[in-house]
A and B are shown apart, each in its own frame.
Chain A
Amino acid sequence: AQKITQTQPGMFVQEKEAVTLDCTYDTSDPSYGLFWYKQPSSGEMIFLIYQGSYDQQNATEGRYSLNFQKARKSANLVISASQLGDSAMYFCAMREGRGTSYDKVIFGPGTSLSVIP
């Protein structure tokens, strides 16, 4: 069963506008972490933001914020004031923490974001 779903294969946003990239997840583990990574055309995977399942507040990192709705099992990434350099693939990922040494990360299929000048 798909554990991470990203329903938007491609998105467009006007420069300086905000954009939301959707991510839903499926887990029965009460302890987990959610991540967003950016992969520009150069290929590297860049860590953007992290949200823990027990965190009370939504995570923010500069222009990135995570809209965490635990009951709905969604962890959408919000990018404010989009820039041309934000054009990239964005991956949502989940790591289930069972308190052991086994901590596999599962990645979603990704969303391609294009910022239009």
Chain B
Amino acid sequence: DAGVIQSPRHEVTEMGQEVTLRCKPISGHNSLFWYRQTMMRGLELLIYFNNNVPIDDSGMPEDRFSAKMPNASFSTLKIQPSEPRDSAVYFCASSLGAGINTQYFGPGTRLTVL
């Protein structure tokens, strides 16, 4: 079975540019999560969708970050404009249903903003 798919795997961009990260959750999973991982702050939840609806976006750093889930099989995380401090690994994860179910992570996108 295909796991969570993320693209691109690596992204290098210049400050001020728009960056779009993509995620395809595991088929049948209805919860989707975007995380950011840095050495300083560890793993942080940015936003959580349930049934394509954003439930908790309190972790989104600021208005430069936006996320969408137009359908059950696709989500995007956009940063516009990007800044060097946005450099991190961004993970997408999905899980089945509500409650205490296991999240499965994608391989991550390593973002470098110069």
Residues of chain A within 8 A (CB-CB) of B104 are: 47
Binding stretch for chain A, among B14-22, B40-48, B66-74: B40-48
Residues of chain A within 8 A (CB-CB) of B43 are: 91, 107
Interface residues on B, range: 20 to 34
Residues of chain A within 8 A (CB-CB) of B99 are: 31, 97, 99, 103
Number of interface residues of A (CB under 8 A): 27
* Contact status B48-A107, CB under 8 Å: no
* Contact status A105-B55, CB under 8 Å: no
* Contact status A107-B100, CB under 8 Å: no
Q: How far is the CA of A103 from the CA of B50 in the complex (A)?
A: 9
Q: How far is the CA of A72 from the CA of B57 in the complex (A)?
A: 32
Interface of B: prevailing SS: strand
* Contact status A35-B31, CB under 8 Å: no
* Contact status B56-A44, CB under 8 Å: no
Q: What 0/1 pattern do residues 84 to 101 of B give for CB contact below 8 A with A?
A: 000001010101001111
Contact of B107 among A32, A44, A101 (CB under 8 A): A44
* Contact status A103-B108, CB under 8 Å: no
* Contact status B100-A97, CB under 8 Å: yes
Residues of chain B within 8 A (CB-CB) of A97 are: 98-100
A50 close to B (CB within 8 Å) = yes
Minimum distance in angstroms from A71 CB to a CB of chain B: 19
Given contacts A44-B105, A103-B98, A104-B48, 16 further A-B contacts (CB under 8 A): A33-B102, A43-B89, A43-B110, A45-B108, A47-B105, A50-B102, A52-B100, A95-B103, A101-B31, A101-B51, A102-B56, A103-B31, A103-B95, A103-B99, A104-B56, A107-B42
18 inter-chain pairs at a CB distance below 8 angstroms, sorted by A residue, are A32-B100, A33-B100, A44-B107, A44-B108, A47-B103, A47-B104, A97-B100, A99-B98, A101-B51, A101-B55, A101-B98, A102-B55, A103-B31, A105-B33, A105-B103, A107-B43, A109-B42, A110-B42
Question: Which 6 residue pairs across A and B have the least CB separation, nearest first?
Answer: A33-B100, A45-B105, A97-B100, A97-B99, A107-B43, A101-B50
